A and B are shown apart, each in its own frame.
Chain A
Amino acid sequence: MDRREFLKVSGSGALALGASACAPGGAKGGADAAGNGAAAGSGEMEYRINPKNGDKVSLLGYGCMRWPMIRGRDGERDKIDQETVNELVDYAYKHGVNYYDTSPAYLQGQSEIAAGVALSRYPRDSYYIATKLSNFGDTSPEGSKQMYYDSFRYLQTDYYDYYLLHSIGNGGVPAFNRRYVDNGMIDFLLKEREAGRIRNLGFSFHGTKDAFDAFLKMQDQYHWDFVQIEMNYQDWRHARVPRNVNAEYLYEELDKRELPIVIMEPLLGGRLARLSDSVVERLKAREPDLSVASWAFRFVGSYPRVLCVLSGMTSMDPLMDNVKTFSGFNPLNEEEIDFILKTADIIAEYPTVNCNDCKYCMPCPWGIDIPGVFLHYNEMVNSGDIATSKEQADYKKLKRRYLVSYDRAIESLRQADHCVGCKTCEPHCPQSIEIPKELQRIDHYIEALRRDTL
């Protein structure tokens, strides 16, 4: 089924989805969940059925990578704000969100524990847990298995609904072999699937086209149950080729193979919610009452093979907005898709850095706040506060704004001018950003501001 067909039948299709609410493992609260194509927010949570096993998954999934942290005192580590996490999970759960995606690597290793604490207050069969084998550092069989078993304990469960090989693609097949094949982990996981402790086995992907093709070829061997990809209207045709793949290609390849797709970074770490003023104007002119972020969610949700769209909601406000978007879900029509893809072309022209603030690059061994520098820069680009020449009329104002807000956002020892260019960070970046190069580009701009040589 392609998207056009899907859109045509979305009204009746939703009814069909609602009818299958009795599927095994299906969540409560969605018995008559049916998007009726009306204005967003008026209906119940949108659900999608996993054709492989009938799982009834909420289209909005909770990404547990960006939960709020409380700053550690006196050199102690930051701690998850469990109280707020519980409140967030309560709200999400009560509004029908039943898919929670975490990893042993997230939030300095604290995400799984927090998810376990928050979710274990509800019946285990009323939500789906997705976690990952994040053996980036220690790839030994012992270390990897330890990580697998620890997740059970942290998540307070004895089975995983969705289990992923975490972020494969960077490093291609050789890295895949090192992390999963050579140490016997893939065979181990296949056995765990047989034993029922893994209900769905898949992988999350960032990387080159060749690597992606190779992993899909392994389908005959491993029988992936699902695949998690980065997809949004920006990456649809403006991914950083050749180091990354356009989401259009990824989606179509998976659609061909009828593999359920989980979407990550639908909002590019919030970047598609914080757009430049002119782009915001463009979106608001069409939908004055809908949030900027809702466009991004509606875009990915408009593709039928998408099972679940993950959003890492840090606080209640985006959570409520997203719940609104996905309740009585209103997919984009043909013309709206064209419109948003044209918007992506405009956004691609901006000199922003593709950083999603995932913090995989951190900690930088030299102490630099890499995502902080990028986010600040992007913010200034989007708000139109970048000076282009010292001759321009408001140059002094722009200069002061940039420098003052830069010092506020990032303490001086963690600013871009301390980057030595060691490239330790680069292989960790899922967006394949040339981090030192970008840091030095921004530093160069700042130096020009300070010296008035712009």
Chain B
Amino acid sequence: MLRKIRIAIAAVMFIGVTLLFLDLSGSLHAWLGWMAKIQFLPAVMALNLVIVALLAILTLVFGRVYCSVICPLGIFQDIVSWFSGRRKGKKSRFHFRKEHKWLRYGLLGLFIIALIAGIQPFVALLAPYSAYGRIVQSIFAPLVQWGNNLLALLAERAGSYAFYTREVWLKSAGVLVVAAATLVAVVWLAWKSGRTWCNSICPVGTTLSFLSRFSLFRPVIDSEKCRDCHMCEKKCKASCIDISGGHNIDYSRCVDCFDCIDNCKFGALKYRFAFAKKSSDKAESSSDSGRRAFLTSAALITFGSAARSQEKKLDGGFAEIIGKKKPERKAPLTPFGSKSIKDFYKRCTACQLCVSACPNNVLRPSQDLKHFMQPEMSYERGYCRPECTVCSEVCPTGAILPLTPEEKTVFHIGTAVVDRSLCIVEAKDTSCGNCSRHCPTGAIIMVPMDPDDKNSLKRPVVNEERCIGCGACENLCPSRPYSAIHVDGLQVHVAN
């Protein structure tokens, strides 16, 4: 029964969180956004003490149920492990292993140091929710979008407006490689030996393990009833039940999946209040030989070549349009709602939720080593449209704080700069003004090239005070591949 409840809740959470990343309608966040916000690390980053406290209490009372029903990466591993167990002769493939103390505590130590020192790429690499996010965003989301585009094609034929085509593009080759490596490592470990990732690598799992040792409720073996059949041990994907060594369970690793309870034919296992009269000896096992292979695979970070701009093939009746290239910005652009570049990159866990959600093709994971995998903005494919506040709504860590479209028009995240050598008004003697026409705040003014001749061609100038940095000008500038006007980020975002 307990197992079934666990599976039901896990299914809801897993599907919900996954949908958050795959949602194309942009309407699910209102309903499911909380699922991202109750994830442990994002809650810590958001300084959401209520959530952190609740999760701590949950673990103290019930053990590491968080790992079984809330963490999407944990549930994902259970799914993989379940498929692995369906194979012939692999139904009871686990056995007790000693914990890899040096590894889990070592990695947790490194993780905390990285967190404090602001080495976010390392944090994002290990953080379970971020790992799952990047897998879904870079590997599964494109598949869903292609599926959507197929439906859009059919809808178009049927004259329906239910689906429309979306641009599928490689947002970051480096992140794709890391996501693929993460996926391979996680699947491989889960396939071979269940919850090894959670119990040897995952810093959140290790953190919760400090509490789960003392949890009030836990599975307990009744030595009198136990016939030493080892079935519970063989079914334990956390490899934390030691029958031969004195009927012990390592509660620092138990994720309360209740598989053992369901599989005990003799009723020797019960999930019950730990400090009742029937005592169970707690035992810590010392370290044994370990497996290291996963470390190598997890650390396998390769940096792919930069995403090449994909140029559209043209038919003869149209002038060719070459793709835009990313300009060099004095400072990176971080979304409206982030307080400053520093604050943004400090809080962001690189879960990719905003990247998945951005409908304007503005956000993408950074290739820059310092902020690797964390999002950055650029305007080659679209600009940060004034009416859109999606990323601020979905961010679970507080790196992007919620704001309204009205607030957005007074926020200042960057400043447009004109490159006169590229501007077609000056370089090609053509009248233009497209930047000015599309500026939502009226920050770009067209002034006569010759101040004495009102009829001379007009070139754009930027009123820095009014510019908010949305990039409409940069995106719609006719100069290609480099726009004649681009936005430099501001270190600290201010409200005008």
Contact = CB atoms under 8 A, between A and B. Distances in A.
A286 B255 CA distance: 78
Contacts of B430: 420, 422
Contacts of B316: 72, 76-78, 108
B164 interface: yes
B164 A365 contact: no
Interface string B301-340: 0000000000011111111110000000000000000000
B386 interface: yes
Contacts of B318: 362-364, 367, 369, 414
A152 to B, nearest CB: 25
Nearest to A73: B313
Nearest to A403: B164
A450 interface: yes
B148 interface: no
Nearest to A366: B478
B321 A414 contact: yes
Interface in B141-162: 156, 161
Interface string A51-81: 0000000000000000000011111111000
19 contacts: A72-B316, A73-B313, A78-B315, A108-B316, A108-B317, A364-B318, A366-B321, A367-B319, A401-B161, A405-B161, A407-B164, A413-B312, A414-B318, A417-B476, A418-B434, A420-B430, A421-B431, A421-B432, A421-B433
A447 B433 CA distance: 16
Q: Chain A binding site: helix, strand, loop or mixed by DSSP? A: loop
A400 B26 CA distance: 14
Interface in A386-444: 400-401, 404-405, 407-408, 411, 413-414, 417-423, 440
B424 interface: yes
Counting chain A residues whose Cβ lies within 8 A of the other chain, the interface size class is 35 or more
Nearest to A452: B387
Given A75-B313, A420-B424, A451-B386, A413 B321 contact: yes
The 5 closest A-B pairs by CB, nearest first: A77-B316, A367-B321, A420-B432, A404-B164, A363-B319
A418 B313 contact: no
A421 B156 CA distance: 32
A72 B385 contact: no
Contacts of A422: 430-432
Nearest to A407: B164
A179 interface: no
A155 to B, nearest CB: 22
Nearest to B316: A77
A365 B434 CA distance: 15
Interface in B417-449: 424, 430-434, 437-438, 440
Contacts of B321: 366-367, 413-414
A118 B160 CA distance: 39
A359 interface: yes
A422 B184 CA distance: 53
- Most chain-A CB neighbours within 10 Å: which of B312, B314, B430? B314
A74 B313 contact: yes
Contacts of A369: 318
A71 B164 CA distance: 23
Given A365-B319, A411-B312, A440 B437 contact: yes
A404 B431 CA distance: 31
Interface residues of B, number: 28
B165 interface: yes
- Most chain-A CB neighbours within 10 Å: which of B161, B315, B386, B433? B315
B476 A418 contact: yes
B151 to A, nearest CB: 13
Given A74-B313, A75-B314, 4 more contacts: A71-B315, A78-B315, A414-B318, A419-B434
B24 to A, nearest CB: 13
B485 to A, nearest CB: 13
Interface string B8-51: 00000000000000000000000000000000000000000000
Contact of A366 (B156, B314, B319): B319
Contacts of B312: 411, 413
Contacts of B431: 420-423
A393 B353 CA distance: 34
A262 to B, nearest CB: 26
Interface string A282-295: 00000000000000
Contact of A451 (B164, B317, B387, B424): B387
Interface string A104-121: 000010000000000000
A421 B446 CA distance: 14
B148 to A, nearest CB: 13
- Most chain-A CB neighbours within 10 Å: which of B316, B430, B432? B316
Given A408-B164, A413-B312, A421 B317 contact: no
